Amino acid sequence: MAAKVGRVRKTKNQNVVLSCGTKDDLALIRNRIMTNKNFKVEVARPANPLTMVRDVIYLNKDADRTENLLAQHKHLLERIAIKNVKLRIKYEKKTRKPFQCHVMLERLL
């Protein structure tokens, strides 16, 4: 039986990512690769969603910034309990203005 591969791409550390149209095709390819002892097969897991917030005041600490952002955007999180939302600042990007930065937020699942 033949399986149809949707996309093949290379990643870091000599890894290869395959995507298939159906789960049956993915299972066929996975079983075939697992017969070879040299290859290691892992199912891809989704990454944590990222959000960029621009022009945030740089002087505040990370905990204060995440609390303020959650307080300002309560209307977006009405369906989700705010206690369950965990945000982490992944990195900050400098701007032209000395007291502002762009913040990349990561929602921990």
76-100: pLDDT as tens digits: 777 777 777 788 899 999 999 999 9
Q: Can you give the residue range of the structural domain that contains 4?
A: 1-45
* Strand blocks (E) in the chain: 5-10, 16-20, 50-57, 86-94, 100-108
Considering the domain architecture, whether residues 69 and 97 belong to the same structural domain is answered as yes
**Its pTM surpasses 0.75:** no
Residues 31 and 80 occupy one common structural domain: no
Asked whether residue 39 falls in the same domain as residue 66, the answer is no
Number of domains in the chain: 2
Per-residue pLDDT, 86: 83
Asked if pLDDT for residue 1 goes beyond 80, the answer is: no
What Å distances lie between residue 12 and 18, 77, 91, CA to CA?
14, 35, 21
Neighbours of 65 (CB within 10 A): 21
- Assess whether 40 and 61 both reside in one domain: no
Together in a domain, 61 and 38: no
**pLDDT category of residue 72 using cuts at 50, 70 and 90:** confident
In this prediction, residue 101 carries a pLDDT of 92
Same domain? For 59 and 12 the reply is: no
